Amino acid sequence: MLAETLAEIRPADPRALADARAHQDRLTKPRGSLGALEDVAVRLAGAAGACPPPMPVPAALAIFAADHGVHAQGVSPWPQEVTVQMVANFLAGGAVANAFAAQSGASVTVVDVGVAADLPDAPSLLKHKIAYGTADLSTGPAMSVDQAVQALEAGISVARGLVEGGARCLITGDMGIANTTASAALVAAFTGHDPAEVTGHGTGIDEETHARKVAVVRRAIEVNDVATVGSQPSDALRVLAAVGGFEHAAIAGLILGGAACRVPVILDGVIAGAAALVAAALDPAAVDHCVAGHRSAEPGHAVALAALGLRPLVDLELRLGEGTGGLLAHPLVCAAVRVMHDVATFDSAGVSEKEN
Amino acid sequence: MLAETLAEIRPADPRALADARAHQDRLTKPRGSLGALEDVAVRLAGAAGACPPPMPVPAALAIFAADHGVHAQGVSPWPQEVTVQMVANFLAGGAVANAFAAQSGASVTVVDVGVAADLPDAPSLLKHKIAYGTADLSTGPAMSVDQAVQALEAGISVARGLVEGGARCLITGDMGIANTTASAALVAAFTGHDPAEVTGHGTGIDEETHARKVAVVRRAIEVNDVATVGSQPSDALRVLAAVGGFEHAAIAGLILGGAACRVPVILDGVIAGAAALVAAALDPAAVDHCVAGHRSAEPGHAVALAALGLRPLVDLELRLGEGTGGLLAHPLVCAAVRVMHDVATFDSAGVSEKEN
């Protein structure tokens, strides 16, 4: 399924990009006056291969949940069982992601790709559990390459299912106590940055814990020999397996699946940024189908976005995950695309153009 | 009407502020993890005097349109008739503000406070014309103090009418070719900044025009003797009359009217920022009821926001006006408030808290 999906992905369509830029300049507004939103609309036109691009509605949020063996290293102040407790909170509609999804009219699907507990059935829970959490990435590979591919394919399958169900925009979400540690390791491995530059304070840790977290990420890079990543997709899979999490793999799969279906994917924070680096290593054209929802407070996120060449839409010091930053960006993306559909041109509205 | 409105305005309620902060910390999310959105929710609680604050829906955009005598100085490459043409575009639903309003479910009301032409009747056009444009602010006062008060009261009256009609959030909008020149003069007068620091490129001018615009603003400050503003509301009225526009006065009135009704006001760009300085000079407590929608590309806007102590929510290099930045921020404000209503607490959801 992975190979077929990669074969389906196309880069941005140059003609749709050019048409969209030209259309922007005919609309009744000063040229360039919508700033970064003009770029978003043009980007979605290129991704869809159509100008104007379709409205990215309805949106579907997929929250991939998993646990992490590295939690044992004391990198998070939160007990591991918070992962399963928060899954229950999502399913009951009580989390911030639910509130934001309600605000933007997005559906919420929770996907168990590796929670360290058995979960009861629930209508919006999909079960793709690969294992009861990853192994400790600071002592060896977090998962096997086979498991990484399984998790990637779970993400692809979720993307295809959501698109078949009518979704026209996918939003990445995650839940997994300690997953900013794996994110930092992925960002360090894929960008060559030092672990100290890309390891942050997660959802809130003290300086002692932060120092330990940096050391753990450094050890993970060394133990797994992923300090420099080659240019082959097989290298990407090896890095993902070595220092990633099941949710990172599945989000990379969601991105590839969305790109293959030509449905845009709004990325949330650092977990999605790290996953997008995996997707980009597997096929750089996948990034053409992504929009960076926001920039989180995690330093590794800015590094990942720079490496991906993406500009975040929302920058409000969020550090929650769950898809919250992606959900906040969704109405902005809709507004950008709606301009392409609704706004009059200088000719049609009889508005005079600038004199110069 | 102005005096009565000023007498009704109350500052943020300290108890509601404290309750909102405490409630934020009980919700199932790491403390502070919603960044600037937590501050917005707390701010709206203080403004409403209630925790949680009411959802700011439905929203109403009021676009105040007017012309400017200073246009004769060649400060804009756009012909003055674009003001009246864009009013027609708003009323026909063809402008970017209409597309963004449709996206956030906001109504659009256009208010003529000083367009230099007679406008035909239209269902969503309110006529409060003070004059056919202001006088040239670089050769003397743009308007009389009486006219400034008339325009302020037009804005108050629009605010009260929209709230009576059911609006629970007001968004400021503007249309007026050359109105960034008046904005720069207001910002310079109220903050003491040099005209060169607060005068920008508007919707797009070359360097020669920009140099002329800075010189015009400098002359306006000197001719009208408004380089330093005193602490009395009467000084604020004199400055507004000297270098403002009818739309600036009316937007200041909208802010005061919203504050008096305890309905939050989302500010758009530099025109709203300059108007908010007027409102703040008349009553500093009015600012407690404002949210800065975005930061525009105009340098005077960042200066105004800093003077007001407001942090913008959207920062995407927009420079369009019309209320577009305020409209984009509306779903973010809604999301922030919705968290206070919908999200479970650690206790209610059975989620473990952080260990430390």
Determine whether A135 is exposed, middle or buried from the number of CB atoms within 10 Å of its CB (0-12, 13-18, 19+). middle
For B59-334, CATH number?
3.40.50.10210
Count of CB contacts below 8 A, A vs B?
201
Task: Enter the DSSP assignment of A343.
Answer: P
Nearest by CB to residue B99, choosing from A31, A331, A342, is A342
Close Cβ partners of A222 (under 8 Å, ≥ 6 residues apart): none
B167: left (phi over 0), alpha (psi -120 to 50) or beta: beta
Q: Do B78 and A342 touch (CB under 8 A)?
A: no
CB distance A146 to A305 below 8 Å: no
Query: Is the ipTM beyond the 0.85 threshold?
Result: yes
pLDDT of residue A203: 78
Cα distances (Å, whole numbers) of residue B315 to A316, B61, B202, B296, B332: 10, 20, 16, 7, 13
Q: Where are the domains of chain B?
A: 59-334
Shortest distance, CA A316 to any CA of chain B (angstroms): 5
pLDDT of residue A230: 64
Q: Do A341 and B99 touch (CB under 8 A)?
A: yes
E-strand spans in B77-220? 107-114, 125-127, 169-175
Query: Over 90: is that where the pLDDT of B230 sits?
Result: no
Intra-chain end-to-end CA distance of chain B, in Å: 55
Q: Do A77 and B35 touch (CB under 8 A)?
A: no
pLDDT band at B232 (very low <50, low <70, confident <90, very high): confident
For A2-52+341-349, CATH number?
1.10.1610.10
Determine whether B18 is exposed, middle or buried from the number of CB atoms within 10 Å of its CB (0-12, 13-18, 19+). middle
The letter for the amino acid at A81 is E
Close Cβ partners of A151 (under 8 Å, ≥ 6 residues apart): A113, A114, A128, A130, A143, A246, A247, A249, A250, A253
pLDDT of residue A208: 93
Query: Over 90: is that where the pLDDT of B354 sits?
Result: no
Q: Which one is catalytic: A164, A322, A353, A355?
A: A322
pLDDT of residue A3: 97
Residue B312 — φ and ψ, nearest 5°? -75, 145
The pLDDT profile of chain A, 356 residues, written as one tens digit per residue, is: 999 999 999 999 999 999 999 999 999 999 999 999 999 999 999 999 999 999 999 999 999 999 999 999 999 999 999 999 999 999 999 999 999 999 999 999 999 999 999 999 999 999 999 999 999 999 999 999 999 999 999 999 999 999 999 999 999 999 999 999 999 999 999 999 999 999 999 878 899 999 999 999 999 999 999 987 766 777 999 999 999 999 999 999 999 999 999 999 999 999 999 999 999 999 999 999 999 999 998 999 999 999 999 999 999 999 999 999 999 999 999 999 999 999 999 999 889 888 75
Close Cβ partners of A144 (under 8 Å, ≥ 6 residues apart): A241
pLDDT of residue B218: 98
Q: Do B77 and A356 touch (CB under 8 A)?
A: yes
pLDDT of residue B202: 81
- A153 counts as catalytic: no
What's the token pair of residue A108? 């919420």
Q: Do A92 and B344 touch (CB under 8 A)?
A: yes
Query: Over 80: is that where the pLDDT of B20 sits?
Result: yes
What's the token pair of residue B170? 């007001």
Residue to substitute from A27, A29, A175, A345, interface B, most B β-carbons within 10 A? A29
pLDDT of residue B353: 84
The letter for the amino acid at A294 is H
Give residue-wise pLDDT tens across range B92-149: 999 999 999 999 999 999 999 999 999 999 999 999 999 999 999 999 999 999 999 9
Give residue-wise pLDDT tens across range B50-97: 999 999 999 999 999 999 999 999 999 999 999 999 999 999 999 999
Query: Over 70: is that where the pLDDT of B231 sits?
Result: no
pLDDT band at B356 (very low <50, low <70, confident <90, very high): low
